[in-house]
Amino acid sequence: MRRAPALLNVSMLLFVFLVRAASSHAVEWPQFRGIGGLGTVQVKSLPVEWDDDTNIVWKEKLLGPGGSSPILFKDAIYLTCYTGFNVPGEEGREEDLQRHLVRLDRKTGKQKWATPHNARLPEQERIRDDHGYATSTPAVDNDRVYVFYGKSGVHAYDHNGKHVWEADVGERLNGWGSAASPILHNDLVIVNASIESDSLYALDRKTGKQKWRAKGIKEAWNTPVLVKTPGGKTELVVAIFRKILAFDPDTGDELWSCDTGIDWYMVPGLVASEGVIYCIGGRSGGSLAIKAGGKGDVTETHRLWTGKKGSNVSSPILTNGLLFWANDAQGIACCAEAKSGKLLYEERLPRAGQVYASAAFGDGKIYYTNRTGKTYVVAAKPEFEILATNDLNDRSLFHASPVLDDGRVYIRSNKFLYCIGSK
């Protein structure tokens, strides 16, 4: 009888150890901009200040450049790279162009494997603004990793790097390259192939076979989002030239459309909460909010407000009733009231230049990373407050969006993946 408390204590310690072990990688970032494509996550103790020598947990040289963001899944980090052609500082031939899905160890950053895939030729000789040939972020589930290589197709790999299937979604090219990332819904992989074929595709997760295709997706570089309507249904929503469109994600049937008033191609991702969708975009700027759940043309009935400020590249953050974004060309941070669209502040980030990466939010902070490796940490409140300006100047481009983990920030450049946090 006297041994019972001791055995109980051992059991409790074992239980705590197992819980901690199981939750050591509890934060997952399974697609572009994380769960739901919103760029937000509930994490704690995120780093505020760092530089090349301070708060770098590890720094791993990558196989090649790319603009895809890392994704986090259990003990793995996945991202894509390209090699062989138009690599900055290297000579190469178009026929040597390869794309690679790369798996890194989440704890150490060390590369576990990489899967080369030859490009479908001809490819374009140059990508404007040096975006490169690996801009689409993978999506992941328990069985596979899904990647989109533009004209070279959609591909599925298992978690050991074995190629499972591929699917053709069009062969057109564009001077800006291809950028939209795959998302997952039920048994489907959904891909915005606006550049390749003016289409949305839904592919079977197990086989890659086409389940449905929706045409008319004009000048859309953004990744679609899944939105819950006030009635509890799910809509697939994407921004195209002058409009936002919603589809039934299971069938591809168009449900509604809404005019945006933005006469430009659409790059920033949409964000949504409580049945309301928020959009920014356009070279000259623009923003709006639309209530989900309509039918037909809902411009007059469901468009809640419009604004004149926005961003042409980077996507916004929605948290606590506030919209945050950074203008891609001017390096100006903005905050608006989500309910009304009222602009609460418009402040310049010091020496920001261009900001192509989408923002990330966690632990009460917004993270904006510019093209040269500066990350501005801004308080997520209605008043503008820069908490820190951090520089990772590795003399390459930073196009990937920051990824947040408990106590960690992952930032990818054309040369390295950085894990930032307290050691």
What's the pLDDT tens digit per position in 104-147? 999 999 999 999 999 999 999 999 999 999 999 999 999 999 99
Task: Kindly state the average pLDDT of the residues 219-242.
Answer: 96
Residue 15 has pLDDT above 80, yes or no: no
- The CATH number of the structural domain formed by 68-134+136-178+180-186 is 2.40.10.480
- Count how many Cα atoms sit within 13 Å of the Cα of residue 300 in the half-sphere of its side chain: 2
Residue 21 has pLDDT above 80, yes or no: no
In this predicted structure, what is the pLDDT of residue 26?
73
Domain boundaries in the chain? Answer: 39-65+315-423, 68-134+136-178+180-186
In this predicted structure, what is the pLDDT of residue 91?
87
CATH architecture label of 39-65+315-423: Beta Barrel (2.40)
Task: Kindly state the average pLDDT of the residues 381-400.
Answer: 96
In this predicted structure, what is the pLDDT of residue 132?
95
Residue 97 has pLDDT above 80, yes or no: yes
Percent of the chain surpassing pLDDT 70? 94
Task: Kindly state the average pLDDT of the residues 397-418.
Answer: 97
Residue 18 has pLDDT above 80, yes or no: no
Under the banding of pLDDT at 50, 70 and 90, the label for residue 14 is: very low
For the stretch 25-39, pLDDT in tens is 579 999 999 999 999
For the stretch 304-348, pLDDT in tens is 999 999 999 999 999 999 999 999 998 999 999 999 999 999 999
Task: Kindly state the average pLDDT of the residues 186-201.
Answer: 98
Cross-strand bridge partners of residue 409: 404, 420
- Out of 71-75, 275-279, 310-314, 392-396, pick the least confident: 392-396
Under the banding of pLDDT at 50, 70 and 90, the label for residue 351 is: very high
In this predicted structure, what is the pLDDT of residue 393?
84
Task: Kindly state the average pLDDT of the residues 245-265.
Answer: 97
In this predicted structure, what is the pLDDT of residue 7?
35
Under the banding of pLDDT at 50, 70 and 90, the label for residue 19 is: very low
In this predicted structure, what is the pLDDT of residue 237?
98
In this predicted structure, what is the pLDDT of residue 159?
98
In this predicted structure, what is the pLDDT of residue 25?
52
Residue 301 has pLDDT above 70, yes or no: yes
- For the full predicted model, state whether its pTM sits above 0.85: yes
Residue 245 has pLDDT above 90, yes or no: yes
Domains 39-65+315-423 and 68-134+136-178+180-186 share a fold: no
